Structure 1
Amino acid sequence: MTHPTAEHYDRIAATYDDLWTYDPDYVRQFAQSMLDALRLIPSDRVADVGCGTGLYTRRLAQELRPERPILCVDPSPAMLEQLPSSPYLQPVPGRAEDLARGEIAPPDGRPFDAVLLKECIHHVPDRAAVLAGLTRRLSSHGRVLVVMLPKAIHHPLFQAAHDRFEALQPDPTEVADALAEAGLRASVSYRTFHVTVDRARYVHLLESRYMSVLDEFTESELAEGIAQFRRAYRDDPVIRFDDHFAFVTGWVRPG
């Protein structure tokens, strides 16, 4: 994670859950989708890389009730401070690179059964090397799940933000190819979550720079972008959009 990106998450840590919780059902449905995709069982050794405040990890743990704590890995101390005290969650300051190098491991020294990276892969500079390293940390039945937005998204952002996001975001097929190159059985599938949000609340999200891509803009550029948003949605007090996500999975090949 680069220095400006770290500053972004440190800045919004205290309000992160409020900014990113469109509604409780959204979090519940999303967490269940990840639980199903990883086929988690209570005995699995699990790491959630880039867990942030644990907004989704908490829900995963509530459903899974793991036999050992999920390792909640994040480079932002401010984000990890928001993690609730729970026997199911263990905060671990660190980056994906640390886990890939074997510097972060389950307390018993065994390999990981499942590694989750939700909406953080775009912050990893050398993705192929990190994904190869994560693959080496997996058990014989291990799996990796990378949850990420596609390059083109349907969020009601202003055009410059869409353009910048598309320029910065990796393609899911690139991630799948890296997992396959690392020796995993890789696939890409998509999930859609329907979002309903008040226009005034979405203005607040934009003003708060809730997405890291919004930190790419100066105050005046952001103000102009918000003005464009207001004009585009002036007749829509409630905004609805589809949140499409790629679920890129990699499984250790049998034998």
Structure 2
Amino acid sequence: KFLLFQNLWQRLTPGGIFLLLLLPPTIEYPLFAKALELYEKKQPHYQELIDLLQKVGFAVESDIIEYPLEFPKSQYFAMVENRYMFLLSEFNDTELAAGLKEMEEKYQDKSVLKFSDRMVFIAATKPE
């Protein structure tokens, strides 16, 4: 990552901005436990990226934007079954079916799933 950021630094003109969007280190999506655990294991913490960008020489600003989401449960479960998140491609059909069963038990009393999607925005500017 450091080498990538160094390369970007060298290619940007003074005043140039590199914008990085990513999910935070934890999410509150209505997923099964193993999916959430895997996500937290693999997702980089945005502060590590900020630190690396600053080490390269960028002036860095960050913000977290939260978007409320609402899906009919059947629609969201179909999205999970279709592996709408790249993370879900890590699970084979049997594991995914078990995860969906876990979700069905957890959300059996809900017809609509409401949760927040949070995005981390990191703006790295090459000083003039």
TM-score bracket for the superposition, by shorter chain length: over 0.9
Answering whether residue 104 of structure 2 is matched by residue 230 of structure 1, we say: yes
Q: Quote the residue 1:79 is aligned against.
A: none
**Percent of aligned pairs with the same residue?**
29
**TM-score w.r.t. length of structure 2:** 0.95
Opposite residue 240 of structure 1, the aligned amino acid is K
How far, CA to CA, are the matches of 2:111 and 2:6 in structure 1? 46
How far, CA to CA, are the matches of 2:78 and 2:8 in structure 1? 37
Q: Quote the residue 2:72 is aligned against.
A: 198
How far, CA to CA, are the matches of 1:249 and 1:177 in structure 2? 13
Q: Choose which of 63, 85, 88 in structure 2 pairs with 1:211.
A: 85
How far, CA to CA, are the matches of 1:193 and 1:135 in structure 2? 31
The structural deviation recorded for 1:187 is 2.5
How far, CA to CA, are the matches of 1:128 and 1:205 in structure 2? 35
1:18-74 CA-partner distances (Å, limit 9, x unpaired): xxxxxxxxxxxxxxxxxxxxxxxxxxxxxxxxxxxxxxxxxxxxxxxxxxxxxxxxx
Give the number of aligned pairs: 128
Answering whether residue 27 of structure 2 is matched by residue 156 of structure 1, we say: no
Opposite residue 49 of structure 2, the aligned amino acid is V
Q: Which has the higher contact order (CA 8 A, sep 6+)?
A: 2
Q: Quote the residue 1:171 is aligned against.
A: 45
1:164-209 CA-partner distances (Å, limit 9, x unpaired): 0000000000111111111100122110011111100111111111
How far, CA to CA, are the matches of 2:63 and 2:9 in structure 1? 20
* Structure 2 gap segments, 5+ residues each: none
How far, CA to CA, are the matches of 2:101 and 2:75 in structure 1? 15
1:78-124 CA-partner distances (Å, limit 9, x unpaired): xxxxxxxxxxxxxxxxxxxxxxxxxxxxxxxxxxxxxxxxxxxxxxx
SS at the partner of 1:140? coil
The CA RMSD over aligned residues, in Å, is 1.0
How far, CA to CA, are the matches of 2:46 and 2:61 in structure 1? 10
* Structure 1 gap segments, 5+ residues each: 1-126
The structural deviation recorded for 1:139 is 1.6
**TM-score w.r.t. length of structure 1:** 0.49
Q: Quote the residue 2:57 is aligned against.
A: 183
Answering whether residue 56 of structure 2 is matched by residue 146 of structure 1, we say: no
The structural deviation recorded for 1:233 is 1.0
SS at the partner of 1:146? strand
Where does 1:35-74 land on structure 2 (aligned, <5 Å)?
none
